[in-house]
Chains A and B, each alone.
Chain A
């Protein structure tokens, strides 16, 4: 299996532009997580899905952020409009279930820079 796939790996954009990050979970996994990593705040959970349904989006910073999972093999995280403080590494992770016994497998991340 190729593991969790994220694209793009790097994204540089200007303030005000729309940014879309993409994630393909491991086949057969039914839980998907979006995390953000910054030096100041460390790793933060933004949102997670179970069976394509958003379960908890309390970590989404503000209305500029939105996430979708239209099917079991694809998810997007969109920022519109983007701001310099959104610069971070965004990780997607998937697991085969919602319980603690199910290991989360992380993708390589998308490094976002907003100028």
Chain B
């Protein structure tokens, strides 16, 4: 069964600084990888996903993540964060054996301060 490890529970960062949120997964089969964002008191929203093809995927608001099969990682990056990026970020994995249900990491709380 696949599992997801998000190594940092909290990441404080100053506005306009770069950030990386780490995600590692364990699976013996082909996987699909996702990053979801949860703003306070809201449900989760899909930020970006890797299904196949290019290992670098991007979101519309400047985030990107790179699928690294050899390191079983899918780290999320942004070169310059905004106050509005403050949220909880969840990495998730799915595969055919799980019926494509999402298996989430514990989440990383990103706090952007001026």
Number of interface residues of A (CB under 8 A): 24
Q: List 29 A-B contacts (CB under 8 A).
A: A4-B43, A33-B101, A33-B102, A35-B104, A42-B104, A42-B105, A43-B44, A43-B90, A43-B104, A43-B107, A44-B104, A45-B101, A45-B102, A45-B103, A48-B99, A56-B99, A56-B101, A91-B43, A91-B44, A93-B44, A99-B100, A100-B32, A100-B51, A100-B95, A103-B46, A104-B102, A108-B41, A108-B42, A108-B43
Q: Which A35-65 residues sit within 8 Å CB-CB of chain B?
A: 35, 42-45, 48, 50, 55-56
**Are A107's CB and B51's CB within 8 A?**
no
The CA of A30 and the CA of B36, in the complex, are separated in Å by: 21
Residues of A that sit less than 8 Å from B by CB:
4, 33, 35, 42-45, 48, 50, 55-56, 91, 93, 98-104, 106-109
In the complex, whether B10 has a CB less than 8 A from a CB of chain A is no
B24: chain A residues within 8 A (beta carbon): none
In the assembled complex, the CB of B80 is this many whole angstroms from the nearest CB of chain A, namely: 27
* Interface: B86 (CB within 8 A): no
Hey, which chain B residues are within 8 Å of A104, CB to CB? Answer: 46, 102
**Chain B residues whose C-beta falls within 8 Å of the C-beta of A100 in the assembled complex:** 32, 51, 94-95, 100
